[in-house]
Amino acid sequence: ALRKGSDLEKAFATAALVYINYADPEGKLSKAETKILLQSQFWHVIQGQENKPKYQEIISSLDEESENKIDFEDFMILLVSLTLMSDLLQEIKNVKATK
């Protein structure tokens, strides 16, 4: 079914698949696992954001010792938040403007 999907549908399916592959049997990620996933699978988006206060706030919240785990909904909100504050959107706008 995903082979017939739009680019956007495939993008979200890929994000879900990556999440599921990292998640525990209950379908959740620990904060430490989430940080590892972001650093390995989302590096090009978060690269260069290390000095931004919001980025530091998000990453430091993943360093907190807590029993709380991250579900898929929270993971997707995290991805969107990191993307919105990254330079990725400007790069996309620049690509579109040159076409």
Give CA–CA dist 48/82, Å, rounded.
Answer: 12
Q: Given this model, what pLDDT does residue 98 score?
A: 65
Residue 78, both tokens: 């995290």
Confidence of residue 27 (pLDDT cuts 50, 70, 90): very high
DSSP 34: H
What is the pLDDT of the chain when averaged over all its residues?
85
pLDDT at position 16 is 93
Q: Which residue has the higher pLDDT, 67 or 99?
A: 67
Instruction: Please report the domains of the chain, with CATH numbers, ordered by start residue.
Output: 2-98 (1.10.238.10)
Cβ burial, residue 34 (10 Å; 0-12/13-18/19+): buried
Work out the percent of the chain whose per-residue pLDDT is above 90: 27
